[in-house]
Amino acid sequence: MSGSQVIGFLFCQRHQLAKQTIRYTPHAWVVPTPDCYEHQSASGLVLKQQFHQYILDTYLRSRNLDVVHVHTHFGDEPPTFSPIDDRHEAEYARFLAFCYRQKPRLISGVFNESLEKSEFRLWDRKGIEHQQISFCNSWFAPINTTTVPEETESIFTRQQVFGTAVQQQLGQLKVALIGCGGIGAVFAEQLARLGVKNWILVDPDRLETTNLNRMPAATHKMVDQRWQKTNYVKWLIKKVYTIGSHVQALPLSVEDEEAKRTIATADLIVVATDNHRSRQVAQELALEYARPLVCLGTHIEIKPDRDSRPRLYCRVTVPPLGGNWCLMCGNMINLQQAALESAPTEITDLAAKAGYIDGIDAPAVYWLNSICASQGVGIIHGMVSGFFDLDAGLDWIYDFANLNWLKTDTSHLHSSDCYFCADDISHLSDGRYKPPRSAQVSPPQEKIAFSSDVMEQTNAANSFVV
Ligand SMILES: [Zn+2]
Ligand SMILES: [Zn+2]
């Protein structure tokens, strides 16, 4: 489509993380085809009114999303908004405020021709002022609340080789851990010692004697005092950081609304439970709020005949954020099992008698849990450092008896009609125009975050689109 501009709409869910921090999660990407335009030329673009009304009603009125209006400028220079853009966008911001009661905010973006450079801004509803927000493509850049680069703490001297920036990013990353049992506890202990200080811990259970062979530094006294597992893991993390860490312990089920709300504010969700239902909820939350998800689990199988070797596995799964596949369509969890697990106790008991539920008091050993937890921590380190590209997702199974890491070919997992993760891209593109890579490949991948009072100081470095 050379010789003319292109535009696209990204519809985002607004998610207030804190008083002054909002994350916009893209849910739909619309690229109009030429027949959607009244008029399309180098001088400007006018969408057919009917089409325009249709997309706004669909995404703004019915789904309560905010709109990011994106267009391109010619050339390879870093693009800047033109006076014409200013005028049109101011009008558009007023139009949106006038037409829609829920008052969607207009975010606008301009890309250069190669779609490699961009600039974004957020308009007020009166169409008078706008705040600049910057944009980056990392899944992992946490919502930054400080610009002052801290010195790398001396406890991390031996990790300096990975770079100060990585250490700082780890220090700012907020991790929600669902499941503070045998795998979760080891995982938290290790990731905390790598440098992660901000945690949300979710687990409704208390420590029991049968946990003591797998929970680092847990004691009989803690069991006698009926410690919540979340408090125990909090204690583990606080042993690393007497100051400077923030740990929220939520002794709740992952299905609890407060737990869900809190998990959604994390930068990364990790699920390390032994049941299908909680993994399903974790995956649903990850998809809804476009959060990266890391799923950890082990499996031990002993055949009744005494001669065969036990089979021990651990599995680390990271579904892609773009929604190409998920734990459900990738068959990492069993939905029937999940449904049984969320059923009332009487039904669960009946099902258990009939042999339909496994995973209850499943066999577990500390060393296998540790392999699994370490692998998960390593993958997160790689994701944050950028030495792992996880766009396609990852599913690794360690087959201990055969000393083999099996890597699922994730290209076989792609599912275009999954009830849970099928992408919500409106394919209105004519196929010639490629929308920005980040948006096209994985639309719910970026978050747009800004801190409004910081931006009033026009410090773009403090506010970003991830
Ligand atoms: Zn422009
Ligand atoms: Zn799926």
Q: Which amino acid is at 19?
A: K
- 110 CA distance to ligand 1 middle (Å): 6
d(CA 153, CA 241): 11
Backbone angles phi, psi at 432, to 5 degrees: -90, -35
Q: How many CA atoms lie within 13 A of 459 on its CB side?
A: 12
d(CA 309, CA 301): 9
d(CA 317, CA 332): 8
- 195 CA distance to ligand 2 middle (Å): 32
- 420 CA distance to ligand 2 middle (Å): 5
d(CA 5, CA 180): 52
Ligand nearest to the CA of 111: 1
- 319 CA distance to ligand 1 middle (Å): 36
Which residue from 182, 348, 202 is spatially nearest to 281, judged by alpha carbons? 202
Note whether 166 and 156 are within 8 A (CB). Answer: no
The encoded tokens of residue 175 equal: 């991790």
The encoded tokens of residue 75 equal: 């050339």
- 22 CA distance to ligand 1 middle (Å): 26
SS3 content of the chain, % helix, strand, coil (to 5): 35, 25, 40
- 320 CA distance to ligand 2 middle (Å): 10
Local confidence pLDDT in tens for the 466 residues of the chain: 444 567 888 888 888 877 767 778 777 888 887 778 787 665 567 788 888 888 888 888 888 888 999 988 988 899 999 999 999 899 999 999 888 877 788 999 999 988 888 899 999 989 999 988 766 566 566 555 444 455 568 899 999 999 998 999 999 999 999 999 999 999 999 999 999 999 999 999 999 999 999 999 999 999 999 999 999 999 999 999 989 999 999 999 999 999 999 999 999 999 999 889 999 999 999 988 888 999 999 999 887 776 778 889 999 999 987 678 999 999 888 888 888 787 777 776 776 676 665 545 789 999 999 999 999 999 999 999 888 888 889 999 999 988 899 999 988 888 778 888 875 544 333 333 333 323 322 222 233 332 222 222 222 222 222 2
Neighbours of ion ligand 1 (CB under 5 A): 82, 85
- 75 CA distance to ligand 1 middle (Å): 12
Adjacent-strand bridge partners of 176: 200, 269
Sheet containing 404-407: which strands, arranged edge to edge? 246-250, 198-202, 174-178, 268-271, 293-301, 311-318, 394-399, 404-407
Tens of pLDDT, residue by residue over 389-415, are 888 899 999 999 888 999 999 888 887
Note whether 425 and 28 are within 8 A (CB). Answer: yes
d(CA 124, CA 105): 7
d(CA 437, CA 428): 16
Residue 285 burial (CB count, 10 A) = 22
Tens of pLDDT, residue by residue over 295-326, are 999 999 887 776 778 889 999 999 987 678 99
- 81 CA distance to ligand 1 middle (Å): 5
- 120 CA distance to ligand 2 middle (Å): 31
- 452 CA distance to ligand 2 middle (Å): 35
Which residue from 107, 126, 201 is spatially nearest to 464, judged by alpha carbons? 107
| Tokens 């919500």 -> residue | 424
Neighbours of ion ligand 2 (CB under 5 A): 326, 328-329, 418, 420-421
Which residue from 199, 201, 202, 203 is spatially nearest to 245, judged by alpha carbons? 199
As a residue count, the chain comes to 466
- 256 CA distance to ligand 2 middle (Å): 23
- 268 CA distance to ligand 2 middle (Å): 19
Helices (H), 32-151: 49-56, 83-99
Ligand nearest to the CA of 88: 1
- 340 CA distance to ligand 1 middle (Å): 54
Query: Helix crossing, 229-240 with 182-194: angle to 10°?
Result: 20
Backbone angles phi, psi at 293, to 5 degrees: -125, 135
Adjacent-strand bridge partners of 16: 22
Q: How would you class 249 by CB atoms within 10 Å of its CB: exposed for 0-12, middle for 13-18, buried for 19 or more? A: buried
Domains of the chain by start residue, with CATH: 7-137+425-465 (no CATH), 157-412 (3.40.50.720)
Q: Please count the helices (runs of H) and the strands (runs of E) in the chain.
A: 13, 19
- 120 CA distance to ligand 1 middle (Å): 12
